Chain A
Amino acid sequence: MRNIFLFIRRFSTAIFFVALQALALWFLITYNKFYRAKGLGVANEVTGWFNSRYNTAEDFFKMREENRKVHKLNDSLMNLLSVNFIRNDTASRLTTDSIPFDTLGHYRRYRWRNAQVTYGTVNAEKNYIQINKGSKDGIYDDMGVFSSDGSLVGTVINVSPNFSQVMSLLHVQNKTSVLVKKTRSSGAVSWNGKDPQFLILSNIPKSDSIVKGDTIVTGNYILSIPPGMMVGTVAEIVPDNSTNFYVLKIRTAANFADLQQVFVVENLQYPEQESLLKATQKKVDDPKRTNR
C-alpha cells in the first residue's frame, strides 16, 4: 500500500497530465457525439459577449459595403412596387411586337436606378447633390431622386456623362407638388433657406383638419416622380390669420446631411408625356401667354 502512495507521489505530475489529457480528449470525442459538451452553453454567454463586441467593431468597417448591398436589394424591390406600374385598358390597344408590359397588362411606368452621392451640401441657400450616374447611365433632366428609404430628395437638373447634379429639396427655388396623405389635398413644398430639417408647405386650405405628424407624400401630377412617395411629416402648424391657408412646417423624411445611397427614378413615358404637353401648349395657347 505504501508503495502505491509513493508511486502516486513520485509520478503525480505525470498522472495529472494523463488525467487532464483524458479530460480534454473526452471533451473532444463527446463533442461530436452529443453535439454540445457540458458547460459550452455557459461559455457561450461569455464568448458571445466578446463576439458581439467584435462584431460592433467589425460593422464599423464593413458598414459601407453592407449598406451598398442592402441598397442594391432595395433597388430591385423598389422596381417591383405597384406604384411603378399603370394599368391600361386592355380592351382596346394597339398590338406591338415587343412586350413592354406583363401578361396582366401592367405597363412599367417608373424604373429605379441606384446611385451614390459623391458630393452634397445642406448649408447653402441653393443646395445641390452630385451623384455618380450620368447620361451614360441613362440619366436625364427632371428625373426624381429618392433616398435609400424611399423618401424624396430632389430632382436631377443637369447631367454630364458620368455625373448628375440634383437640385435638393433644400433649394430656395425648388417647388415640388405634394399631397397631404390623409386629406388628399395638394400643395407645394418649398424651402425658406433656414433650417435644413424643415420645409414649408403652403396652399393647404384651413378646411382640412391637419395635425402634427400628418404624412406628406409626393403629388400625383409631377411627370418625373412617382406619386405617393414619402416627403416628410408635419412638424409645426404656423398660425397665419391673414389667409385661408395653412402654413405648415414639414420635417423632411430624408436626412440630407448624410445621404450616401440614393435612387434615381425614371418615368419611362416621360418623353411622350413631355412632348404631348409641349404640343398641346403650342396648339392651344397663344405663344404670348403660355402658362408654363
Chain B
Amino acid sequence: MSDLLRNTIRLLIFILLQVYVLNKIPALHQFIVPIIYYLFILWLPFSISRTTLLVMGFITGIILDFFMMTPGLHAATCVLVAYLRPFVINILAPKDAAGFSYREPSPKAMGWTPYLVYTFVLTLAHHGYLVFLEWLSFGSFFHFIIKVIATTGISMLLIIITELLFPRKLKFRTNTA
C-alpha cells in the first residue's frame, strides 16, 4: 500500500472516529473531551517535507472543522502541531545514527519513552492552543488550565490505548522510498 493511500484511509478513519464516536459519546465532564484525530499528523512519515506537513495539518483540521461547524478552529491548531512536529522529532532523534530507521513515528521506531514525550508535547500544544482559542470567546483562566490538563490526560490515554491495540506493521526506511 502506498503512503498516499494508507494515509488517506487513515485520515478518513480518524475523522469519522472523532466525529461519530468520540464526539457522540455522552460527555464525561465538561472539562474532559476525548480528542484523538490529530494523531493522524503525528503518524505521518518522517520523510514528509515541512511544507507538505503544514498543508496536511491544515487539511486535517479544516475537514474536522466542516463536520463540527467551527471553521478555522481545528485548522489553526493542526497547523501549529504540524509546524512543531519536526522540531520535536529533531530533539528526540538519536544523535549517533542518521535518524530513525523506520518510516513513521511509532513506539517501535522511537522507543516508548521518546514516543510518549513526542506525543505528549504535541498533545499539550494542540490542546493548549485549541482551548486557548476557545477561551478567547468564553471561560476563565482556571477553566482554561484545568481543561488543558484534563483533555491532555484523556488524549494521552487514548493514544496509548491506540498504540497498544493497533501496533502498525512498519517497514524499514529505504533509499528508494
Contacts and interface: CB of A to CB of B under 8 A. Distances in A.
Interface in B26-77: 50-51, 54-55, 57-58, 61-62, 65-67, 69-73, 75-76
Given A17-B79, A20-B54, A24-B61, A50 B67 contact: yes
B6 to A, nearest CB: 21
A12 B16 contact: no
A189 B159 CA distance: 66
Interface in B86-124: none
Contact of B73 (A13, A23, A28): A28
A37 B72 contact: yes
Contact of A21 (B51, B67, B79): B79
Interface residues of B, number: 25
Contacts of A27: 62, 65, 71-72, 75
Nearest to A32: B137
A204 to B, nearest CB: 56
Contacts of B62: 24, 27
Contact of A28 (B19, B57, B71, B80): B71
B76 A54 contact: no
B58 A47 contact: no
A43 interface: yes
B76 A16 contact: no
B135 interface: no
Interface in B1-41: 16, 19-20
A16 B58 CA distance: 11
For chain A, give the interface size range.
20 to 34
A40 B54 CA distance: 21
Interface in A54-100: 54
A126 B108 CA distance: 67
A119 interface: no
A26 interface: yes
B66 A54 contact: no
Contacts of B51: 12-13, 16
B117 to A, nearest CB: 22
Contacts of A26: 72
Nearest to A37: B71
A135 B80 CA distance: 68
A237 interface: no
A31 interface: yes
A25 interface: yes
22 contacts: A13-B50, A13-B54, A16-B54, A17-B54, A17-B79, A20-B57, A23-B75, A24-B62, A24-B72, A24-B79, A25-B76, A28-B70, A28-B76, A28-B133, A29-B72, A31-B70, A31-B72, A40-B66, A40-B71, A43-B66, A50-B16, A54-B20
Interface of B: 16, 19-20, 50-51, 54-55, 57-58, 61-62, 65-67, 69-73, 75-76, 79-80, 83, 133
